[in-house]
Amino acid sequence: MPALFPHLPGHCNTRLAALAVSASLLAGAASAIPPCEEKKCPTNWVGMSLAQEKEVMGFANDYKRFINKARTETTTVTQAIKLAKAAGFKPWHLGASLKPGSKYYDNNRGRSITLFIIGDAPLSDGARISASHIDSPRLELKGRPVYEKSGFALFQTNYHGGIKNYQWTNIPLALLGHVDKKDGKRIHISVGLDKDDPVFVIAGLSPHVDVDLRKRKNRDVIAAEELDPIIGNRELDEKNGAKALVKSYLRNTYDIGLDDLVSAELSLVPAFAPRDLGFDRTLIAAYGQDDRLSAYASLRAILAAKSLQKTAFVWLADNEEVGNRNNTGAHSTYFIDLFSDLLLQQMGDAYREPFLRRALKASRVVSTDVNPGINPNWPSAWEAGNAPRHGHGINLKIYGRGNDANSEYLAWTRAMLDDAGVPWQTATYKVGKGGGGTLGGELSHYNMDVVDFGVPVLSIHTPYAVSSKSDLFWLYKANTAFFEK
Protein backbone atom coordinates (compact mmCIF):
# COMPACT_ATOMS: atom_id res chain seq x y z
CA MET A 1 0.00 0.00 0.00
CA PRO A 2 1.32 3.53 -0.72
CA ALA A 3 1.95 5.81 2.22
CA LEU A 4 -1.03 7.96 3.10
CA PHE A 5 1.12 11.01 2.42
CA PRO A 6 3.92 9.72 0.15
CA HIS A 7 5.07 13.24 -0.70
CA LEU A 8 5.23 14.34 2.93
CA PRO A 9 7.57 12.18 5.04
CA GLY A 10 8.40 14.82 7.61
CA HIS A 11 6.94 16.42 10.72
CA CYS A 12 7.24 19.67 12.61
CA ASN A 13 9.09 18.98 15.83
CA THR A 14 6.92 16.30 17.39
CA ARG A 15 3.83 17.33 15.43
CA LEU A 16 2.93 16.83 11.80
CA ALA A 17 3.41 20.03 9.86
CA ALA A 18 3.41 17.85 6.78
CA LEU A 19 -0.29 17.24 7.25
CA ALA A 20 -0.98 20.93 7.33
CA VAL A 21 0.81 21.17 3.99
CA SER A 22 -1.27 18.26 2.71
CA ALA A 23 -4.46 20.02 3.73
CA SER A 24 -3.40 23.21 1.96
CA LEU A 25 -2.64 21.32 -1.23
CA LEU A 26 -6.09 19.77 -1.17
CA ALA A 27 -7.57 23.25 -0.72
CA GLY A 28 -5.61 24.54 -3.71
CA ALA A 29 -3.21 26.78 -1.81
CA ALA A 30 -0.17 27.70 -3.87
CA SER A 31 2.23 28.78 -1.15
CA ALA A 32 3.89 26.60 1.46
CA ILE A 33 2.44 26.48 4.95
CA PRO A 34 4.79 27.63 7.73
CA PRO A 35 5.58 25.20 10.58
CA CYS A 36 2.48 24.59 12.62
CA GLU A 37 2.13 25.90 16.12
CA GLU A 38 1.99 23.45 18.99
CA LYS A 39 -1.81 23.42 19.40
CA LYS A 40 -2.75 23.94 15.73
CA CYS A 41 -1.09 20.99 14.07
CA PRO A 42 -3.81 18.94 12.36
CA THR A 43 -4.31 15.25 12.93
CA ASN A 44 -3.18 12.74 10.34
CA TRP A 45 -6.79 12.40 9.14
CA VAL A 46 -6.38 15.69 7.28
CA GLY A 47 -5.85 15.07 3.58
CA MET A 48 -6.66 11.37 3.74
CA SER A 49 -8.36 10.06 0.61
CA LEU A 50 -11.53 7.99 0.83
CA ALA A 51 -9.61 4.89 -0.26
CA GLN A 52 -6.95 5.44 2.38
CA GLU A 53 -9.56 6.10 5.06
CA LYS A 54 -11.30 2.87 4.08
CA GLU A 55 -8.07 0.95 4.65
CA VAL A 56 -7.48 2.54 8.05
CA MET A 57 -11.06 1.88 9.10
CA GLY A 58 -10.91 -1.70 7.85
CA PHE A 59 -7.73 -2.33 9.82
CA ALA A 60 -9.42 -0.93 12.94
CA ASN A 61 -12.44 -3.18 12.44
CA ASP A 62 -10.15 -6.21 12.25
CA TYR A 63 -8.49 -5.04 15.46
CA LYS A 64 -11.82 -4.68 17.27
CA ARG A 65 -12.79 -8.21 16.32
CA PHE A 66 -9.42 -9.47 17.55
CA ILE A 67 -9.42 -7.65 20.88
CA ASN A 68 -13.03 -8.63 21.54
CA LYS A 69 -11.88 -12.26 21.71
CA ALA A 70 -8.37 -11.64 23.04
CA ARG A 71 -9.31 -10.62 26.60
CA THR A 72 -6.45 -12.36 28.46
CA GLU A 73 -2.95 -13.51 27.58
CA THR A 74 -4.18 -17.06 26.96
CA THR A 75 -7.01 -16.03 24.66
CA THR A 76 -4.63 -13.64 22.88
CA VAL A 77 -2.22 -16.49 22.19
CA THR A 78 -5.12 -18.58 20.87
CA GLN A 79 -6.19 -15.81 18.48
CA ALA A 80 -2.60 -15.11 17.41
CA ILE A 81 -2.09 -18.76 16.50
CA LYS A 82 -5.24 -18.74 14.36
CA LEU A 83 -3.97 -15.72 12.43
CA ALA A 84 -0.47 -17.16 12.17
CA LYS A 85 -1.67 -20.45 10.73
CA ALA A 86 -3.85 -18.63 8.20
CA ALA A 87 -0.75 -16.68 7.09
CA GLY A 88 1.35 -19.82 6.59
CA PHE A 89 3.22 -19.90 9.89
CA LYS A 90 3.96 -23.34 11.33
CA PRO A 91 4.77 -24.49 14.88
CA TRP A 92 8.50 -24.30 15.56
CA HIS A 93 10.38 -27.43 16.57
CA LEU A 94 14.06 -28.27 16.77
CA GLY A 95 15.27 -29.52 13.43
CA ALA A 96 12.76 -27.56 11.34
CA SER A 97 14.12 -25.96 8.16
CA LEU A 98 15.52 -22.47 8.61
CA LYS A 99 15.86 -21.43 4.99
CA PRO A 100 15.16 -17.75 4.20
CA GLY A 101 11.46 -17.02 4.25
CA SER A 102 10.58 -19.84 6.67
CA LYS A 103 7.73 -18.77 8.99
CA TYR A 104 7.24 -20.20 12.48
CA TYR A 105 5.57 -19.53 15.79
CA ASP A 106 6.64 -20.76 19.21
CA ASN A 107 3.93 -21.10 21.86
CA ASN A 108 5.35 -20.58 25.36
CA ARG A 109 2.98 -22.40 27.73
CA GLY A 110 -0.09 -20.85 26.14
CA ARG A 111 0.60 -17.47 27.78
CA SER A 112 3.30 -16.01 25.55
CA ILE A 113 4.14 -16.47 21.88
CA THR A 114 6.89 -15.63 19.41
CA LEU A 115 6.45 -15.42 15.65
CA PHE A 116 9.48 -15.22 13.39
CA ILE A 117 10.49 -15.17 9.74
CA ILE A 118 14.00 -16.26 8.76
CA GLY A 119 15.84 -13.57 6.83
CA ASP A 120 18.34 -13.78 3.98
CA ALA A 121 21.23 -12.86 6.28
CA PRO A 122 22.42 -15.35 8.91
CA LEU A 123 21.03 -14.86 12.40
CA SER A 124 24.59 -14.34 13.59
CA ASP A 125 24.39 -10.93 11.89
CA GLY A 126 21.60 -9.90 14.26
CA ALA A 127 17.82 -9.66 14.02
CA ARG A 128 14.89 -7.26 14.16
CA ILE A 129 12.78 -7.82 17.30
CA SER A 130 9.43 -6.20 18.09
CA ALA A 131 8.30 -6.93 21.64
CA SER A 132 5.09 -6.10 23.48
CA HIS A 133 3.01 -7.60 26.26
CA ILE A 134 -0.41 -9.24 26.16
CA ASP A 135 -1.48 -9.14 29.81
CA SER A 136 -3.69 -6.28 30.97
CA PRO A 137 -4.83 -5.06 34.39
CA ARG A 138 -7.66 -7.25 35.66
CA LEU A 139 -9.03 -9.10 38.68
CA GLU A 140 -8.02 -12.66 39.47
CA LEU A 141 -9.66 -15.25 41.69
CA LYS A 142 -7.89 -16.25 44.87
CA GLY A 143 -7.07 -19.92 45.43
CA ARG A 144 -10.17 -20.45 47.56
CA PRO A 145 -12.45 -17.80 46.12
CA VAL A 146 -16.07 -18.78 46.86
CA TYR A 147 -17.71 -17.47 50.03
CA GLU A 148 -21.12 -16.42 51.28
CA LYS A 149 -22.16 -13.18 52.93
CA SER A 150 -25.55 -11.61 53.63
CA GLY A 151 -27.28 -14.23 51.53
CA PHE A 152 -25.06 -13.67 48.47
CA ALA A 153 -22.36 -15.88 47.02
CA LEU A 154 -19.23 -13.93 46.06
CA PHE A 155 -15.73 -14.40 44.67
CA GLN A 156 -12.64 -13.35 46.63
CA THR A 157 -10.32 -11.58 44.18
CA ASN A 158 -6.85 -10.16 43.82
CA TYR A 159 -5.69 -7.60 41.26
CA HIS A 160 -3.21 -7.96 38.40
CA GLY A 161 -1.50 -4.70 37.49
CA GLY A 162 -2.21 -1.15 38.56
CA ILE A 163 -5.90 -0.30 38.73
CA LYS A 164 -8.14 2.31 40.33
CA ASN A 165 -10.37 0.08 42.41
CA TYR A 166 -13.51 2.20 42.22
CA GLN A 167 -13.56 1.95 38.42
CA TRP A 168 -14.30 -1.78 38.63
CA THR A 169 -17.60 -1.50 40.48
CA ASN A 170 -21.03 -1.64 38.86
CA ILE A 171 -19.79 -2.78 35.46
CA PRO A 172 -20.45 -6.16 33.81
CA LEU A 173 -17.58 -8.58 34.31
CA ALA A 174 -16.84 -11.81 32.45
CA LEU A 175 -15.08 -14.83 33.95
CA LEU A 176 -12.38 -16.29 31.69
CA GLY A 177 -9.66 -18.89 32.11
CA HIS A 178 -9.16 -22.53 32.92
CA VAL A 179 -9.02 -25.04 35.74
CA ASP A 180 -6.37 -27.77 35.82
CA LYS A 181 -7.49 -30.90 37.67
CA LYS A 182 -5.27 -33.42 39.41
CA ASP A 183 -6.04 -36.05 36.76
CA GLY A 184 -4.49 -33.84 34.06
CA LYS A 185 -7.72 -32.58 32.54
CA ARG A 186 -8.01 -28.87 31.74
CA ILE A 187 -11.46 -27.27 31.93
CA HIS A 188 -11.90 -24.04 29.98
CA ILE A 189 -14.35 -21.47 31.31
CA SER A 190 -15.81 -18.43 29.54
CA VAL A 191 -18.89 -16.79 31.04
CA GLY A 192 -20.08 -13.27 30.31
CA LEU A 193 -19.01 -12.45 26.75
CA ASP A 194 -21.89 -14.07 24.90
CA LYS A 195 -25.03 -11.93 24.83
CA ASP A 196 -27.01 -14.72 26.49
CA ASP A 197 -24.47 -15.31 29.29
CA PRO A 198 -24.89 -14.02 32.82
CA VAL A 199 -22.36 -11.45 34.00
CA PHE A 200 -20.82 -10.67 37.39
CA VAL A 201 -20.89 -7.32 39.19
CA ILE A 202 -19.04 -5.74 42.11
CA ALA A 203 -21.90 -3.84 43.72
CA GLY A 204 -21.03 -0.36 44.95
CA LEU A 205 -22.94 1.54 47.60
CA SER A 206 -25.75 3.82 46.46
CA PRO A 207 -25.54 7.55 47.34
CA HIS A 208 -28.36 7.04 49.84
CA VAL A 209 -26.15 5.04 52.22
CA ASP A 210 -22.53 5.82 51.34
CA VAL A 211 -21.86 8.58 53.88
CA ASP A 212 -18.95 6.72 55.48
CA LEU A 213 -17.32 6.03 52.12
CA ARG A 214 -17.29 9.74 51.29
CA LYS A 215 -14.59 10.24 53.88
CA ARG A 216 -12.22 8.00 51.95
CA LYS A 217 -9.67 9.31 49.48
CA ASN A 218 -9.80 8.63 45.75
CA ARG A 219 -7.78 5.42 45.66
CA ASP A 220 -9.45 4.06 48.81
CA VAL A 221 -13.11 4.61 47.94
CA ILE A 222 -13.19 0.88 47.29
CA ALA A 223 -10.54 -1.14 49.14
CA ALA A 224 -8.79 -3.97 47.34
CA GLU A 225 -10.40 -6.53 49.62
CA GLU A 226 -13.82 -5.10 48.70
CA LEU A 227 -13.47 -5.98 45.00
CA ASP A 228 -15.64 -9.08 45.32
CA PRO A 229 -18.27 -9.67 42.63
CA ILE A 230 -21.66 -11.22 43.27
CA ILE A 231 -21.96 -14.66 41.68
CA GLY A 232 -25.27 -15.85 43.09
CA ASN A 233 -28.18 -15.15 45.41
CA ARG A 234 -30.25 -18.33 45.54
CA GLU A 235 -30.08 -21.00 48.20
CA LEU A 236 -29.48 -24.61 47.23
CA ASP A 237 -32.20 -25.72 49.64
CA GLU A 238 -33.58 -24.90 53.09
CA LYS A 239 -30.36 -25.90 54.84
CA ASN A 240 -27.74 -24.82 52.29
CA GLY A 241 -27.20 -21.30 51.05
CA ALA A 242 -25.92 -19.60 47.92
CA LYS A 243 -22.35 -20.92 48.26
CA ALA A 244 -23.67 -24.47 48.20
CA LEU A 245 -25.62 -23.72 45.04
CA VAL A 246 -22.47 -22.35 43.35
CA LYS A 247 -20.59 -25.46 44.42
CA SER A 248 -23.32 -27.66 42.96
CA TYR A 249 -23.38 -25.63 39.73
CA LEU A 250 -19.61 -25.94 39.21
CA ARG A 251 -19.77 -29.68 39.79
CA ASN A 252 -22.73 -30.25 37.48
CA THR A 253 -21.60 -27.88 34.71
CA TYR A 254 -17.80 -28.28 34.66
CA ASP A 255 -17.15 -31.37 36.80
CA ILE A 256 -14.94 -29.34 39.14
CA GLY A 257 -14.98 -28.97 42.90
CA LEU A 258 -14.05 -25.94 44.98
CA ASP A 259 -10.70 -27.57 45.75
CA ASP A 260 -9.91 -27.61 42.00
CA LEU A 261 -9.93 -23.80 41.98
CA VAL A 262 -6.57 -23.89 43.79
CA SER A 263 -4.98 -24.96 40.47
CA ALA A 264 -6.88 -22.54 38.27
CA GLU A 265 -6.14 -19.36 36.35
CA LEU A 266 -9.42 -17.49 36.28
CA SER A 267 -9.74 -13.78 35.56
CA LEU A 268 -12.54 -11.25 35.74
CA VAL A 269 -12.40 -8.78 32.86
CA PRO A 270 -14.84 -6.13 31.61
CA ALA A 271 -17.54 -7.67 29.44
CA PHE A 272 -17.97 -4.56 27.26
CA ALA A 273 -17.52 -5.11 23.54
CA PRO A 274 -15.12 -2.78 21.67
CA ARG A 275 -16.99 0.15 20.14
CA ASP A 276 -16.35 3.12 17.90
CA LEU A 277 -16.29 6.36 19.88
CA GLY A 278 -17.55 9.73 18.68
CA PHE A 279 -19.64 10.96 15.79
CA ASP A 280 -16.66 10.72 13.45
CA ARG A 281 -15.87 7.10 14.45
CA THR A 282 -12.12 7.79 14.49
CA LEU A 283 -11.61 6.50 18.04
CA ILE A 284 -11.89 3.04 19.60
CA ALA A 285 -13.13 2.33 23.12
CA ALA A 286 -12.12 -1.13 24.36
CA TYR A 287 -10.75 -3.05 27.32
CA GLY A 288 -7.16 -4.30 27.19
CA GLN A 289 -5.61 -1.84 24.75
CA ASP A 290 -2.59 -1.75 27.06
CA ASP A 291 -0.95 -3.53 25.44
CA ARG A 292 -2.85 -5.74 23.07
CA LEU A 293 -3.09 -2.77 20.71
CA SER A 294 0.68 -2.86 20.22
CA ALA A 295 0.64 -6.65 20.09
CA TYR A 296 -1.91 -6.60 17.28
CA ALA A 297 -0.05 -3.96 15.28
CA SER A 298 3.22 -5.92 15.41
CA LEU A 299 1.43 -9.22 14.80
CA ARG A 300 -0.22 -7.91 11.65
CA ALA A 301 3.09 -6.49 10.44
CA ILE A 302 4.93 -9.81 10.62
CA LEU A 303 1.99 -11.71 9.16
CA ALA A 304 2.15 -9.46 6.09
CA ALA A 305 5.96 -9.48 5.78
CA LYS A 306 7.51 -11.03 2.67
CA SER A 307 11.21 -11.32 1.86
CA LEU A 308 13.35 -9.90 4.68
CA GLN A 309 17.07 -9.26 4.92
CA LYS A 310 17.21 -9.74 8.69
CA THR A 311 15.36 -12.42 10.64
CA ALA A 312 12.30 -10.75 12.19
CA PHE A 313 10.72 -11.64 15.53
CA VAL A 314 7.48 -10.58 17.18
CA TRP A 315 7.51 -11.53 20.84
CA LEU A 316 4.26 -11.20 22.79
CA ALA A 317 5.09 -11.64 26.46
CA ASP A 318 3.08 -12.13 29.64
CA ASN A 319 3.13 -10.46 33.07
CA GLU A 320 4.54 -7.06 32.13
CA GLU A 321 1.90 -5.41 34.30
CA VAL A 322 3.34 -7.13 37.38
CA GLY A 323 7.05 -6.76 36.65
CA ASN A 324 7.76 -9.23 33.80
CA ARG A 325 7.70 -12.14 36.24
CA ASN A 326 7.47 -15.89 35.80
CA ASN A 327 8.67 -18.10 32.96
CA THR A 328 6.28 -16.47 30.50
CA GLY A 329 7.40 -12.93 31.34
CA ALA A 330 10.23 -10.95 29.79
CA HIS A 331 12.52 -11.46 32.78
CA SER A 332 12.79 -15.18 32.01
CA THR A 333 15.38 -16.61 29.62
CA TYR A 334 12.67 -17.92 27.28
CA PHE A 335 13.31 -15.60 24.34
CA ILE A 336 17.10 -15.82 24.60
CA ASP A 337 16.82 -19.62 24.75
CA LEU A 338 14.73 -19.61 21.56
CA PHE A 339 17.18 -17.26 19.85
CA SER A 340 20.04 -19.55 20.89
CA ASP A 341 18.31 -22.65 19.51
CA LEU A 342 17.84 -20.99 16.12
CA LEU A 343 21.44 -19.80 16.02
CA LEU A 344 22.69 -23.26 16.97
CA GLN A 345 20.68 -24.85 14.19
CA GLN A 346 22.07 -22.40 11.62
CA MET A 347 25.68 -22.68 12.76
CA GLY A 348 25.84 -26.36 13.67
CA ASP A 349 29.11 -27.55 15.23
CA ALA A 350 30.66 -24.11 14.80
CA TYR A 351 28.28 -22.65 17.41
CA ARG A 352 29.79 -21.25 20.60
CA GLU A 353 28.16 -19.14 23.32
CA PRO A 354 30.07 -15.96 22.33
CA PHE A 355 28.35 -16.12 18.92
CA LEU A 356 25.01 -15.74 20.69
CA ARG A 357 26.22 -12.67 22.58
CA ARG A 358 27.53 -11.09 19.38
CA ALA A 359 24.28 -11.80 17.53
CA LEU A 360 22.26 -10.21 20.31
CA LYS A 361 24.50 -7.16 20.30
CA ALA A 362 23.99 -6.82 16.55
CA SER A 363 20.20 -6.98 16.92
CA ARG A 364 17.80 -4.06 17.03
CA VAL A 365 14.67 -3.98 19.17
CA VAL A 366 11.52 -1.91 19.34
CA SER A 367 9.62 -2.29 22.59
CA THR A 368 6.10 -1.28 21.62
CA ASP A 369 3.73 -0.19 24.36
CA VAL A 370 0.98 2.39 24.61
CA ASN A 371 1.16 5.35 26.97
CA PRO A 372 -1.24 8.06 28.17
CA GLY A 373 -2.08 10.78 25.68
CA ILE A 374 -3.21 14.32 26.44
CA ASN A 375 -6.62 14.12 28.08
CA PRO A 376 -8.97 16.98 27.10
CA ASN A 377 -10.45 17.11 30.60
CA TRP A 378 -7.08 17.23 32.38
CA PRO A 379 -4.49 18.54 29.88
CA SER A 380 -2.39 19.96 32.71
CA ALA A 381 -1.26 16.42 33.59
CA TRP A 382 1.17 16.79 30.68
CA GLU A 383 3.86 19.27 29.76
CA ALA A 384 2.27 19.99 26.39
CA GLY A 385 5.45 20.56 24.36
CA ASN A 386 6.55 16.96 24.88
CA ALA A 387 3.18 15.26 25.12
CA PRO A 388 1.60 12.83 22.63
CA ARG A 389 -1.79 13.55 21.08
CA HIS A 390 -4.37 11.25 19.54
CA GLY A 391 -4.34 11.23 15.76
CA HIS A 392 -0.77 12.53 15.45
CA GLY A 393 1.03 9.26 14.84
CA ILE A 394 3.23 7.02 16.93
CA ASN A 395 5.21 8.41 19.83
CA LEU A 396 8.89 7.94 20.54
CA LYS A 397 9.32 7.68 24.29
CA ILE A 398 12.00 10.01 25.60
CA TYR A 399 12.10 9.22 29.30
CA GLY A 400 15.40 10.76 30.38
CA ARG A 401 17.25 9.69 33.54
CA GLY A 402 19.20 6.98 31.76
CA ASN A 403 16.13 5.19 30.41
CA ASP A 404 16.36 6.28 26.77
CA ALA A 405 17.72 4.55 23.72
CA ASN A 406 21.09 6.00 22.85
CA SER A 407 21.04 8.99 20.51
CA GLU A 408 22.47 7.12 17.51
CA TYR A 409 19.74 4.48 17.71
CA LEU A 410 17.09 7.19 18.06
CA ALA A 411 18.52 8.84 14.95
CA TRP A 412 18.38 5.49 13.11
CA THR A 413 14.76 5.11 14.23
CA ARG A 414 13.82 8.59 13.07
CA ALA A 415 15.33 7.91 9.67
CA MET A 416 13.51 4.59 9.44
CA LEU A 417 10.16 6.21 10.23
CA ASP A 418 10.70 9.21 7.96
CA ASP A 419 11.83 7.04 5.04
CA ALA A 420 8.62 5.02 5.40
CA GLY A 421 6.43 8.14 5.70
CA VAL A 422 5.31 7.23 9.22
CA PRO A 423 4.20 10.28 11.25
CA TRP A 424 5.65 10.42 14.75
CA GLN A 425 5.75 12.55 17.86
CA THR A 426 7.53 12.35 21.20
CA ALA A 427 6.29 11.42 24.66
CA THR A 428 7.86 12.58 27.92
CA TYR A 429 6.05 12.65 31.24
CA LYS A 430 6.13 15.68 33.50
CA VAL A 431 9.30 15.46 35.53
CA GLY A 432 8.74 13.29 38.57
CA LYS A 433 4.99 12.99 37.95
CA GLY A 434 4.53 10.04 35.65
CA GLY A 435 5.96 6.72 34.71
CA GLY A 436 5.52 3.19 33.53
CA GLY A 437 7.53 0.34 32.12
CA THR A 438 7.84 -1.83 29.05
CA LEU A 439 9.81 -4.90 27.99
CA GLY A 440 12.66 -2.64 26.87
CA GLY A 441 14.69 -2.80 30.05
CA GLU A 442 14.67 -6.61 30.05
CA LEU A 443 15.93 -6.81 26.46
CA SER A 444 18.56 -4.10 26.80
CA HIS A 445 20.02 -6.24 29.59
CA TYR A 446 21.26 -8.54 26.83
CA ASN A 447 23.26 -5.73 25.20
CA MET A 448 20.74 -5.12 22.41
CA ASP A 449 19.84 -1.66 21.13
CA VAL A 450 16.27 -0.99 22.27
CA VAL A 451 13.93 1.91 21.57
CA ASP A 452 10.46 2.36 23.07
CA PHE A 453 7.62 3.59 20.95
CA GLY A 454 3.86 3.22 20.92
CA VAL A 455 0.71 5.30 20.54
CA PRO A 456 -1.23 7.56 22.91
CA VAL A 457 -4.26 6.03 24.65
CA LEU A 458 -6.68 7.70 27.07
CA SER A 459 -7.69 6.02 30.32
CA ILE A 460 -5.03 3.32 30.33
CA HIS A 461 -5.56 0.62 33.00
CA THR A 462 -9.27 1.38 33.17
CA PRO A 463 -12.03 -0.96 32.02
CA TYR A 464 -12.53 1.05 28.81
CA ALA A 465 -9.56 2.82 27.23
CA VAL A 466 -9.58 5.03 24.11
CA SER A 467 -7.24 4.89 21.11
CA SER A 468 -7.10 6.47 17.65
CA LYS A 469 -7.68 4.29 14.61
CA SER A 470 -5.11 6.22 12.59
CA ASP A 471 -2.45 5.87 15.31
CA LEU A 472 -3.10 2.12 15.45
CA PHE A 473 -2.62 1.91 11.69
CA TRP A 474 0.61 3.90 11.80
CA LEU A 475 1.99 1.66 14.53
CA TYR A 476 1.40 -1.25 12.19
CA LYS A 477 3.25 0.59 9.40
CA ALA A 478 6.07 1.50 11.78
CA ASN A 479 6.59 -2.19 12.62
CA THR A 480 6.49 -3.04 8.92
CA ALA A 481 9.19 -0.47 8.20
CA PHE A 482 11.29 -1.74 11.10
CA PHE A 483 11.27 -5.32 9.80
CA GLU A 484 12.19 -4.19 6.31
CA LYS A 485 14.96 -1.74 7.29
Would you write out the chain's pLDDT as a tens digit for each of its 485 residues?
A: 334 433 333 344 433 443 433 333 333 333 333 334 454 678 999 989 999 999 999 999 999 999 999 999 999 999 999 999 999 999 999 999 999 999 999 999 999 999 999 999 999 999 999 999 999 999 999 999 999 999 999 999 999 999 999 999 999 999 999 999 999 999 999 999 999 999 999 999 899 988 888 888 888 899 999 999 999 999 999 999 999 999 999 999 999 999 999 999 999 999 999 999 999 999 999 999 999 999 999 999 999 998 899 999 999 999 989 999 999 999 999 999 999 999 999 999 999 999 999 999 999 999 999 999 999 999 999 988 889 999 999 999 988 888 888 999 999 999 999 999 999 999 998 888 877 678 888 999 999 999 999 999 999 999 999 999 999 999 999 999 999 98
CATH code of the domain made up of 138-270: 2.30.250.10
Provide the residue ranges of all domains of the chain, joining segments of one domain with +.
Answer: 50-136+287-484, 138-270
Q: How many CA atoms lie within 13 A of 463 on its CB side?
A: 18
Burial of 456 (0-12, 13-18, 19+ CB in 10 A): buried
Burial of 175 (0-12, 13-18, 19+ CB in 10 A): buried
Burial of 359 (0-12, 13-18, 19+ CB in 10 A): buried
What is the chain's alpha carbon radius of gyration, rounded to the nearest angstrom?
A: 24
From residue 391, alpha-carbon distances to 271, 414, 419, 477, 479 in Å are 27, 19, 20, 15, 18
pLDDT of 119 reads 98
How far out from the chain centre does Cα 105 lie? 18
Integer Cα distance of 454 and 474 in angstroms: 10
* 131 contacts 439 by C-beta, under 8 angstroms: yes
pLDDT of 170 reads 97
* Neighbouring residues of 247: CB distance < 8 A, sequence distance ≥ 6: 146, 257, 258
Integer Cα distance of 101 and 89 in angstroms: 10
Integer Cα distance of 269 and 77 in angstroms: 17
Phi then psi dihedrals of residue 330, to 5 deg:
-70, -15
Integer Cα distance of 114 and 108 in angstroms: 8
pLDDT of 15 reads 38
Tell me the CATH class for 50-136+287-484. Answer: alpha beta
What is the pTM for the complete model shown?
A: 0.91
pLDDT of 11 reads 42
pLDDT of 40 reads 63
DSSP 409-446: HHHHHHHHHHHTT--EEEE-PPTTS-----SHHHHHTT
pLDDT of 402 reads 81
Q: What angle do CA 266, 269, 274 make, to 5 degrees?
A: 140
Integer Cα distance of 166 and 296 in angstroms: 29
